[in-house]
Chains A and B, each alone.
Chain A
Amino acid sequence: MSEGLPTPDYSLSIEQRESVYEPAEDTFLLLDALEKDIKKLRALDARIVLEIGCGSGVVSTFVAQNLGKHAFHLGTDINFVAARCTRQTARMNRIELDTIQTDLIRGLRLDRVVDILLFNPPYVPTESEATTDIERTWAGGPTGRGTLDRFLPEVPRLLSSQGVFYLVALHQNDIPSLLNHNEKELKGEIVMQRRCGIEHLYILKFSRI
């Protein structure tokens, strides 16, 4: 849990909890990593912040609250209930942001303009692919990287020259291979790691070389 910067207020209804991922250890680890980097993030003077799979909206709202007012915040989610939940969380905290219901970044025209990119993907290795909305929030297929591996090739196209990409990952996702997934264009580093019960979680950060 963040100690210095406040966590946004949020409230998920019973209906929302059936299909939207509730903030958990992984969410809070990402918030802690963003808090640790907050001075650097503020110094970016970001124009466009994009979160993939914005879910409850806690992460996007946290960034918007703590970055200062001058950025434009966008979130995407494949689940309409989650896209609406993010708007609700933002409004609850008097933050302006927009959400789009789509698969990853389909329909977005954001070539090389994203200054801060965020993704807490479904990272848990599972025998089969997800079939329901709530499974889709965590089930990552056999490697835990089913959704992530579809997204990673898009990252260099999205990031601005100063852009940074924060990613939540699990030890079993193969951290070394993630860090080097695109050595020609991106450099990766571990910002934070934490054992939470049976999960060994990482926050990775990528920027342009």
Chain B
Amino acid sequence: MKLLTHNFLSSRFLKNVATGYPLLLRVNEKELREVEFDQDFVQNIMPKVDYNCLVSTLMAIGEQGALPNELPENWRENEELLKELHRVLVKIEVIVGELECPESGRVFPIKDGIPNMLCQEDEC
């Protein structure tokens, strides 16, 4: 699971959960994938990304690196920043870990790089 995917996950479907976002991420095993830098990809996708969610998650897993806490206005022209965004969005791959609902504490496992968001009928 890439952190870009994590950015689009929430546990709002659970009973009595208002936003369920961001999900807390814990990593037991991760890898860095070889993905060719693609500036257009980063420029395309960033407007859809919740930057606060990204940064707080990176901080939690010790991967914030050189990323600033706030996205600077000129991010589109800053190649170093675009490269770092590319690294954290698509190169870091969580293989084993878990996601936790910030409100209910419900845990969703990640196995073989695949988060499991299934729940029982009475949970949602």
- A and B: interacting chains: yes
Cβ of B119 and Cβ of A106 under 8 Å apart?
yes
Cβ of A100 and Cβ of B45 under 8 Å apart?
no
Query: Which B residues between 83 and 124 are near A, CB-CB below 8 angstroms?
Result: 90, 108, 111-119, 124
Cβ of A47 and Cβ of B48 under 8 Å apart?
yes
Cβ of A109 and Cβ of B21 under 8 Å apart?
yes
Residue of B9, B13, B35, B119 near A96 (CB, 8 A) is B35
The residue on A at minimum CB distance from B46 is A47
How many chain B residues touch A (Cβ–Cβ < 8 Å)? 31
Cβ of A74 and Cβ of B118 under 8 Å apart?
no
Cβ of A101 and Cβ of B90 under 8 Å apart?
no
Q: How far is the CA of A57 from the CA of B40 in the complex (A)?
A: 25
Cβ of B33 and Cβ of A100 under 8 Å apart?
no
1/0 per residue, CB under 8 A from B, across A9-50: the answer is 000000000000000000000000000000000000101100
Known: A70-B41, A74-B8. A102 touches B117 (CB 8 A): yes
Give B residues with C-beta under 8 Å from A. 1-2, 4-5, 8-13, 21, 33, 35, 38, 40-41, 44-45, 48, 90, 108, 111-119, 124
Give A residues with C-beta under 8 Å from B. 45, 47-48, 69-72, 74, 78, 80, 83-84, 87, 96, 98-103, 106-110, 113
